[in-house]
Chains A and B, each alone.
Chain A
Amino acid sequence: MAYVLFTLSVLLVMGFVGFSSKPSPIYGGLALIVSGVVGCVIVLNCGGVYMGLVMFLVYLGGMMVVFGYTTAMAIEEYPETWGSGLEVLGGLLVGLMMEVVLVLWVLSLDETVVVSFSDTGDWVIFEGEGSGLIRGDSIGAGALYDYGRWLVVVAGWTLFVGVYIVIEIVRGN
């Protein structure tokens, strides 16, 4: 269990290979949701509780739902999964094989890549000085509304204009 973060990152790469091998988009969306869950657990493992929550709500709960029903509108009758046809299966197997070979190769190196894998000083998360009650990431994201006041105004106006752009694109003529 000491290397759970590394295992999760390997699972993340495998999930990414799953939708990058381009099956039919409904299966690609499924792989993206699984990869999103794994990525969220990676973020949670490093102490980013608020960022993990934001990712779950906004990304998986918002954008993937929109992707899901848009894909359901534009799907064909017999969607192509990972086992049907040689292109998707070949891409998936090549990607998985590449990941396994790369991980085994880097693990077998004795010298350092940047810092070597068995250097356990890398895995220790140092606590700050007595500020354990305040989560760092929620305070940092809350500073968006303090130091980043103008950024909030500009981003809000950009999104407002973006909604009008989307409406005009969908309306067509």
Chain B
Amino acid sequence: MTLTYMNIMLAFTISLLGMLTYRSHLVASLLCLEGMMMSLFIMATLIASNTHFPLVNIMPIILLVFAACETAVGLALLISISNTYGLDYVHNLNLLQC
């Protein structure tokens, strides 16, 4: 069971690394953010089941609710970028370039 926890924490770290590196698309980083939220959800649910503490199940549900809200805001920003520039390429976002 401990190795399962290690694998889930490893999945979180891999998603974090994926979110911090940019290739060409912005929505790929949003996908990695979703992966982070999902791994946190799985971890919290496993801890709630294994320690027989059912009240902790409130935390993953609230986490999922706010992760959905955050996804909506991220996708709205993506849509406004896509309306301005045509695609969501990261190298289009160069207004602050000196």
B61 nearest in chain A by CB position: A141
> Complex: how many Å from CA A39 to CA B8?
9
> Complex: how many Å from CA A29 to CA B30?
10
What string of 1s and 0s marks CB contacts (under 8 Å) between A15-31 and chain B?
A: 01101111111001100
A161 nearest in chain B by CB position: B69
Closest beta carbon of chain B to A127's beta carbon, Å: 9
Q: Which of B15, B21, B64 contacts A58 (CB 8 A)?
A: B64
> Complex: how many Å from CA A70 to CA B77?
11
B41, A55: Cβ atoms under 8 Å? yes
Q: Which of A29, A42, A147 contacts B31 (CB 8 A)?
A: A29
Identify whether the interface residues of B are mostly helix, strand, loop, or mixed.
helix
A51, B60: Cβ atoms under 8 Å? yes
A25, B49: Cβ atoms under 8 Å? no
Classify chain B: how many residues form its interface, as a range. Answer: 35 or more
Given contacts A13-B7, A19-B32, A35-B35, contact A74 B87 (CB under 8 A): yes
A162 nearest in chain B by CB position: B69
Closest beta carbon of chain B to A106's beta carbon, Å: 6
The 10 A-B pairs with the shortest beta carbon distances in the complex, nearest first, are: A140-B54, A20-B18, A140-B57, A9-B7, A136-B54, A169-B76, A16-B11, A46-B49, A122-B1, A166-B76
Given contacts A122-B1, A136-B52, A155-B66, contact A19 B31 (CB under 8 A): yes
CB neighbours of A86 from chain B (8 A): none
Closest beta carbon of chain A to B71's beta carbon, Å: 5
